Amino acid sequence: MARINPEFTDELKKYGAFDPNACYNCGNCTAVCTLSDEENSFPRKMVRYSVLGLESEIETSLDPWLCYYCGECSMTCPREADPGELMMSLRRWLIAKYDWTGLSGLLYKSLTASVAAFVLLAAIVVWFGAYEHFNLANMMHYGHIFEFAAISLVLLVILLPNIIHMWWLTVMKPKVKAPLSAYFKAIGELIVHMFTQKRTLGCDDNQFRWFEHFILVLGYLSLLFTTVVLGWFETQSMFIIVLGYVESAVIFVVTFDFVRRRIQKDKEISKHSQPSDWFFVIWLFLMGLTAFVVRLFIDIDILDANVWMYQVQLIILVQWALIIVPFGKWTHFLYRSFAMYFHRIIELSAEN
Ligand code: SF4
Ligand code: SF4
């Protein structure tokens, strides 16, 4: 029997939703949504589940991840229930559900907790700098070790268990009988979506946004590789140096445009920004910018006299790696890719 949580819409509002109860089930949103078909009234089904407080149906559903927030449903809603933002809020709520640490939910719901986490990590990095007597070589050495350790730990200790939890909720709990072959056949879906996020193209008016996302993902992943694996801050190779400059410039130029759009609110998708949205774009912008400046300071030989610049870059990096990547908006990119993978597995199982 379905469990009903009458407080669910109040809970969802803490994740950004407006007023799902305003929905009078007219169906306009379903009529305009390109993801809607005869079997799935998209996004109205999720709106109804939310209004009724059917938590279990929502947590076992992949639907919120299939939505790419084109905003057309919100524009046509006569009741201003804002179904597009509701889908976004459901994605945040689901991230909190998947996360075994409980920190995602806390950081999404409390700005004070988020600010405290950022300040705490900044203080630890400053303390670490003082402990090392602001010795640049030592700080860079440990900074590089931190990059490897943070990537491995966040991936293995937080994100992997959360993805397994997501798989349990969306594939195992609904008792999908998926043969092993379906997991192999669907793997291409995971890779394609992880690198291209191509489903964004399903909504009208999204080509440029898709292109920007694509360039950003490419720039971000390659800068990560160039810095962590190729040792961008230590290398003398002209090719790697120029490559890092280009990648970091791509990141701060594209994210600057994201910040501009969120300030101007010129599209439905940019109208509502939660603190987690701001943290994501601003920290990504700062990551690209500070990495660019640190390498520039190395090349014009002034970093030794300006250790504070490396310290700033390290603070941004640590906050990014330990707050935004495991608990913040960065995870949307990961869960969405896995949602497409699990969705394909479910489709293949139904065909058998
Ligand atoms: S368009 Fe608005 S009022 Fe109509 S079903 Fe969708 S959310 Fe409800
Ligand atoms: S935002 Fe776009 S993709 Fe998402 S439910 Fe609304 S119309 Fe569909």
CA separation, residue 307 to residues 121, 123, 126 (Å)? 18, 16, 11
Ligand nearest to the CA of 68: 2
| Probe target for ligand 2 pocket from 23, 28, 30, 42, with the most ligand atoms within 8 Å of CB | 42
CA of 74 to the centre of ligand 1 (A): 8
- Reported as a pLDDT band with limits 50, 70 and 90, residue 198 is confident
Domain ranges of the chain: 8-98, 110-351
What the block records as the tokens of 274 is: 């939660």
44 lines ligand 1 (CB under 6 A): yes
Note the pLDDT of residue 49: 94
Q: At what angle do helices 44-52 and 83-98 cross, to 10 degrees?
A: 60
What the block records as the tokens of 31 is: 């009529």
83 lines ligand 1 (CB under 6 A): yes
- Reported as a pLDDT band with limits 50, 70 and 90, residue 17 is confident
d(CA 149, CA 155): 10
CA separation, residue 332 to residues 19, 67, 93, 288 (Å)? 23, 12, 11, 20
271 lines ligand 1 (CB under 6 A): no
d(CA 57, CA 60): 5
Note the pLDDT of residue 69: 85
Q: What pTM did the predictor assign?
A: 0.90
32 lines ligand 1 (CB under 6 A): no
Note the pLDDT of residue 289: 92
Largest CA distance in the chain: 68
For 280-331, the pLDDT digits (tens) are 989 999 998 999 999 999 999 999 999 999 999 999 999 999 999 999 989 9
* Nearest atom (ligand 2) to Cα of 268: 1
Identify the sign of the CA torsion 124, 128, 130, 131.
positive
For 100-115, the pLDDT digits (tens) are 999 999 999 999 999 9
29 lines ligand 1 (CB under 6 A): yes
Per-residue HEC secondary structure of the chain comes to CCCCCCCHHHHHHCCCCCCHHHCCCCCHHHHHCCCCCCCCCCCHHHHHHHHHCCHHHHHCCCHHHHCCCCCHHHHHCCCCCCHHHHHHHHHHHHHHHHCCCCHHHHHHHCHHHHHHHHHHHHHHHHHHHHHCCCCHHHHHHHHHHHHHHHHHHHHHHHHHHHHHHHHHHHHHCCCCCCCHHHHHHCHHHHHHHHHHCHHHHHCCCCHHHHHHHHHHHHHHHHHHHHHHHCCCCCCCCHHHHHHHHHHHHHHHHHHHHHHHHHHHCCCHHHHCCCHHHHHHHHHHHHHHHHHHHHHHHHHCCCCHHHHHHHHHHHHHHHHHHHHHHHHCCHHHHHHHHHHHHHHHHHHHHHHC
